[in-house]
Amino acid sequence: MSLVTQRNSIIPGFGLTLGYTLVYLGAIVLLPLAALVLKASDLGLSGLWSIAAEPRIFAALRTSFTLALAAAAVNVVFGGIVAWVLTRYEFPGRRLLDAAVDLPFALPTAVAGISLAAIYAPNGWIGALIAPLGWQVAYTPLGIVVALVFIGLPFIVRTVQPVIVELQQDVEEASASLGATRLQTLYRVVLPALTPALLTGFALAFARGVGEYGSVIFIAGNLPFVSEIAPLLIVVKLEEFNYAGATAIAVWMLAISFFILLAINLIQAWSRRRFGNV
């Protein structure tokens, strides 16, 4: 194939650059991936199954997936509002807030983790405010949701913003001129147009949330069966040199993520057909 390509182009360096790309990709990404697949195939399906059925591992997987879904759902609502306001409104500080949306990506996760834990700890800025009400966020599953909302926010906002920019405002004008109230227009015209992007953002935030580690472990409390996430359990298994257990949890995380993302993709394809391609 390279010979054909070389003949068509006077640009040099195809063999060298593609060769280097493939070797580097193979060494850094594919070789480690192969090690994981090989280790998992050693265990076999029955081995993978019996490890996932261990109560503590099952509980950790359930915690990770349900809380990542919950946090992504919170982000769809608030991230959607944030994207709408930052795109459609002008107010003092808007540009600053818009730039700050990327903070969860620029801020190292460990830093986010300890600062969220400090804020929501019973003696923290917010923790002390809500403690008299009998509420506790840090060291409970709710704390994990807070951390995952922080981590997932830019996924929703940055996915939805360009779609809002591209919205044809004449459609909204048409809706209004046909007698719809503004709320009806938002709900029946704008929201359907944003649905595919919101779903994409949801999927990205969810996938990131399932694998998130650094920002979660400080605020989670890490109580087995209650607030222990699957990535933490991988670390625990590795510290016990239980490579098989760690591999099985990783494989289950990847497999369940894959099926949930597949389901979201199907819903998305349906919503694109239903509401038109945006």
Q: Pick the closer one to other proteins by CB: 225 or 243.
A: 243
User: Minimum distance from CB of 79 to other proteins (Å)?
Assistant: 9
Which sign, positive or negative, has the C-alpha torsion 124, 126, 132, 134?
negative
Residue 142: exposure state from Cβ atoms within 10 A (0-12, 13-18, ≥19): middle
Q: Pick the closer one to other proteins by CB: 59 or 180.
A: 180
Collapsed DSSP state (helix, strand, coil) of residue 278? coil
**What is the length of the chain?**
278
Q: Pick the closer one to other proteins by CB: 103 or 223.
A: 103
Could you count the other beta carbons within 10 Å of the beta carbon of residue 258?
11
User: Minimum distance from CB of 254 to other proteins (Å)?
Assistant: 4
User: Minimum distance from CB of 46 to other proteins (Å)?
Assistant: 17
User: Minimum distance from CB of 185 to other proteins (Å)?
Assistant: 8
Going by C-beta distance under 8 Å and a sequence separation of 6 or more, which residues neighbour residue 186? none
**How far apart (Å, rounded) are the C-alpha atoms in residues 244 and 249?**
9
User: Minimum distance from CB of 200 to other proteins (Å)?
Assistant: 5
Q: Pick the closer one to other proteins by CB: 67 or 86.
A: 86
User: Minimum distance from CB of 225 to other proteins (Å)?
Assistant: 20
Q: Pick the closer one to other proteins by CB: 81 or 226.
A: 81
CB contact burial 175-193 (16+ within 10 A = b; e otherwise)? beeeebeeeebeeebbeeb
- The full DSSP string for 36-64 is HHHHHHHHHHHHHHHHHTSHHHHHHHHHH
User: Minimum distance from CB of 245 to other proteins (Å)?
Assistant: 11
Q: Pick the closer one to other proteins by CB: 6 or 50.
A: 6
**How far apart (Å, rounded) are the C-alpha atoms in residues 147 and 164?**
27
Q: Pick the closer one to other proteins by CB: 182 or 274.
A: 182
Q: Are 118 and 124 in contact (CB under 8 A)?
A: yes
Could you count the other beta carbons within 10 Å of the beta carbon of residue 168?
9
